Chain A
Amino acid sequence: MTGYILSRLGQAFLVLWGAFTVTYLILYLLPGDPLSIMLGASGIQPGSLSPQQLDVLRAQYGLDQGVVAHYFSLLGGYLQGDFGRSLADNDPIRQLLFARAAPSLELAGSAVVLSVLAGCGFAYAVSLVTWRPLRQALTRLPALGLSTPVFWTGLLLIQIFAFDLGWFPATGNDGIQSLILPAVTLAIPSGATFAQVLLRSFGDVWREPFIVTALAKGLSRGQVQARHVLRNALLPVFTLIGLQIGNLVFEAVLVETVFARVGVGRLAQEAVLRQDMPVVLAIVTLAAAIFVVINLIVDLLYPVFDPRITRTPRVT
Chain B
Amino acid sequence: MSSIRDLEETPVPAPVLESVADAPVSGGVPRLRPSRFKRTAVTLRPLLARPGFLLGAGLIAFVLLAAAWPQLLTGYDPYATSEADKFLPPSMAHWFGTDDLGRDLYTRVVFGARLSVAAALIAVGIGLTVGLTLGVLSGYLGGLADEVIMRAVDVMLALPPLLLALALVTAIGFGTIPVAIAVGLGIIPGFARTTRAEVLRVKILPYVEAAKLGGAGWFSVLLRHVLPNSWGPVAVLTTLDFGFAILATAGLSFLGFGAAPPAAEWGTLIADGRNFLMTTPWLSLIPGLFVAVVVFSLNHIARTIEEL
Contacts and interface: CB of A to CB of B under 8 A. Distances in A.
Interface of A: 11, 14-16, 18-19, 22-23, 26-28, 30-31, 124, 127-130, 133, 135-136, 139-140, 143-144, 146-152, 155-156, 158-159, 163, 199, 202-204, 206-207, 212, 215, 220-223, 225-226, 229, 243, 245-247, 249-251, 253-254, 257-258, 268-269, 271-273, 275-277, 280-281, 283-284, 287-288, 291-292, 314
Nearest to B267: A149
Instruction: Identify the interface centre among B154, B171, B278: most chain A CB within 10 Å of its CB.
Output: B171
B255 A26 contact: no
Interface string B1-38: 11110111111100011011111000001111010010
A288 B155 CA distance: 9
Nearest to A230: B4
Given A26-B167, A207-B21, A225-B7, A269 B255 contact: yes
A151 B249 CA distance: 12
Contacts of A206: 17, 20-21, 30
B163 interface: yes
A272 B155 contact: no
A147 B166 contact: no
B11 A215 contact: no
B256 interface: yes
Interface string B81-94: 00000000000000
Contact of B251 (A139, A250, A284): A250
A159 B270 CA distance: 14
Given A15-B155, A149-B267, A222-B9, A130 B2 contact: yes
B21 A280 contact: no
A22 B164 CA distance: 9
25 contacts: A14-B151, A18-B151, A18-B152, A23-B167, A30-B171, A127-B19, A130-B19, A133-B48, A147-B243, A147-B296, A203-B23, A206-B30, A207-B31, A221-B7, A221-B16, A223-B8, A226-B8, A253-B255, A254-B254, A254-B255, A258-B274, A272-B166, A287-B159, A288-B159, A291-B160
A249 B159 CA distance: 11
B159 A22 contact: yes
Interface of B: 1-4, 6-12, 16-17, 19-23, 29-32, 34, 37, 45, 48, 150-152, 154-164, 166-172, 243, 247, 250-251, 254-257, 267, 270, 274, 277-278, 281, 284-285, 288-289, 291-296, 298-300, 303
A149 B247 contact: yes
B254 A151 contact: yes
Contacts of B31: 207, 212
B12 A221 contact: yes
Contacts of B32: 207
B274 A155 contact: yes
B163 A22 contact: no
Contacts of A272: 166, 169-170, 255, 257
Nearest to B28: A215
Given A222-B12, A284-B167, 9 more contacts: A18-B151, A152-B270, A204-B34, A222-B7, A226-B7, A246-B160, A284-B163, A292-B158, A314-B150
Nearest to B298: A147
Contacts of B285: 152, 155-156, 159
A199 B21 CA distance: 9
Nearest to A199: B22
A220 B11 contact: yes
A26 B168 contact: yes
